[in-house]
Chain A
Amino acid sequence: EIVLTQSPGTLSLSPGERATLSCRASQSVSGSYLVWYQQIPGQAPRLLIYGASIRAPGIPDRFSGSGSGTDFTLTISRLEPEDFAVYYCQYHGSSIFTFGPGTKVDLK
């Protein structure tokens, strides 16, 4: 069973700052199956990144993903007011679908 751990639990930042979110897998996984979502309270999740680094359609280029093996990172280069939300990583592979617990990015 692959378990995803996200850190930090909460990230307190100001608009314009850089956000770096971590997702760690309990065993090495293919980056092809590592995904990031954004969820604003009261809304459905929004796909940001798939294949570890491929931006979904319509996602601004301030969002970027990287990583391999067990360690993956979502970076928001300069936070906009609409970016304060919860971010989840997800792994999918061999009909296994699992989400991380999430990182909340809130206003400092």
Chain B
Amino acid sequence: QVQLVESGGGVVQPGGSLRLSCAASGFTFRSYDMHWVRQAPGKGLEWVTFIRYDESKSQYADSVKGRFTISRDNSKNTLYLHMNSLRAEDTAVYYCAKPTYSTSGHFEHWGQGTLVTVSS
């Protein structure tokens, strides 16, 4: 069955950097776009970024553009989120999400999330 396992969260100071990983299994990873979605404590869902299955395209929410970079290693079935210049408002649970179909925009499978806390 499909499994998405995020890791790499933790506490980081404002201005710091962090790299999140999402290990995927149970499906043909290289055939699917992949997304990151976050949720601040007690708040709603916010889409962060996506990367095309073949790395030909990526897109970012305005709130993270220029600071976050999404990447993937299809040989390792792993998705990454490189986060720089972190701010307090980036504090959230970060989920990786797999679309229902290769490039669809609705997410049938989600990881359990990894918590990022930006605090001094």
Binding site for B on A (CB under 8 A): 33, 35, 37, 39, 44-47, 50, 56-57, 88, 90, 92-93, 95, 97-102
Known pairs A44-B112, A50-B106; A99 contacts B100 (CB<8 A): no
Q: How many residue-residue contacts, CB under 8 A, span A and B?
A: 53
State whether A92 and B59 are in contact (beta carbons under 8 Å apart), knowing that A97-B50, A101-B44, A102-B44 are contacts in the complex: no
Give every chain B residue within 8 A of A39 (Cβ-Cβ): 45
> How distant is the Cα of A45 from the Cα of B109 in the complex, in angstroms?
9
Residue in A closest to B35 when the chains form the complex, CB atoms: A97
Chain B interface mostly: strand
Of the candidates A37, A44, A92, the one whose C-beta lies within 8 Å of that of B105 is: A92
Q: Bound complex: CA of A35 vs CA of B105, how far in Å? A: 9
Q: Is B110 an interface residue (CB 8 A)?
A: yes
Contact A45 B100 (CB under 8 A): no
Q: Verify A99–B46 contact, CB threshold 8 A.
A: yes
